[in-house]
């Protein structure tokens, strides 16, 4: 059973990471060959692929990774803080960038499932944070510049910005069911 779970996690990891950019092939290969224990370990150059609340909260913290992907619907009973400075693909020379992937995809980059992250409040303190696919159910408070809600994403709640400057730097192409305002 452990071998089956390891192969399943590795397969999903490869499929998900293959769509995150051409330079992610190395990360996908590393994830596919990792042992189950290594797959749970966060490293700033690899993705955190999570399926439960505690792992998710750690993955989006300042000690987490540049990309966080969930494998199913996740409910967090406490407020979530997305913190820390991260760089595209975990490489310090690359642009500041962080991504939350709320979807799964196949080897051809076709989205095969969308997931919901449920939390009372999600506070974004990481610059250039992108939410792609799926739904965040709860209010989102953005304190950092460069927030991006991809067209494939939904916030089922309110979207608040800390200032007009933060709001002006955001790209909100997805759906927000509640208010979008500076608060």
**Residue 7 pLDDT > 90, yes or no?**
no
Q: How confident is the model at residue 107 (pLDDT cuts 50, 70, 90)?
A: very high
Longest dimension (CA), the chain: 52
Higher pLDDT pick, 90 / 35: 90
Bridge-based pairing state of the strands 180-182 and 159-161: parallel
Residues 125, 99: Cα–Cα separation, whole Å? 13
Residues 72, 52: Cα–Cα separation, whole Å? 8
pLDDT tens digit sequence for 31-87: 333 333 333 333 345 678 999 999 999 999 999 999 999 999 999 999 999 999 999
Cα 9 off chain centre by: 17
| Predicted TM-score (pTM) of this structure | 0.76
Residues 44, 63: Cα–Cα separation, whole Å? 8
Cα 77 off chain centre by: 18
Residues 154, 157: Cα–Cα separation, whole Å? 9
Residues 63, 49: Cα–Cα separation, whole Å? 15
CB of 90 closer than 8 Å to CB of 46: yes
Q: Tokens representing 58? A: 């750690």
State the chain's mean pLDDT as an integer. 82
The predicted pLDDT at position 32 comes to 34
Q: Is the dihedral of CA 105, 12, 31, 108 positive or negative?
A: negative
**Residue 1 pLDDT > 50, yes or no?**
no
């Amino acid at each position: 059973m452990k071998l089956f779970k390891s192969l399943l996690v590795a397969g999903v990891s490869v499929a998900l990471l293959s769509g995150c950019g051409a330079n992610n092939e190395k990360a996908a290969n590393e994830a596919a060959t990792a042992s189950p224990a290594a797959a749970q370990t966060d490293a700033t150059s690899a993705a955190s692929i999570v399926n439960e609340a505690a792992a998710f909260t750690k993955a989006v913290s300042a000690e987490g990774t540049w990309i966080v992907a969930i494998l199913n619907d996740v409910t967090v009973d406490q407020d979530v803080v997305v913190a820390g400075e991260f760089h595209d693909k975990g490489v310090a020379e690359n642009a500041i960038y962080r991504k939350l992937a709320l979807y799964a995809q196949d080897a051809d980059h076709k989205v095969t499932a969308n997931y919901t992250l449920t939390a009372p409040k999600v506070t974004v303190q990481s610059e250039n944070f992108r939410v792609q696919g799926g739904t965040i159910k709860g209010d989102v408070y953005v304190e950092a510049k460069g927030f991006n809600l991809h067209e494939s994403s939904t916030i089922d709640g309110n979207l608040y910005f800390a200032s007009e400057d933060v709001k002006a730097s955001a790209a909100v192409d997805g759906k927000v069911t509640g208010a979008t305002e500076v608060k």
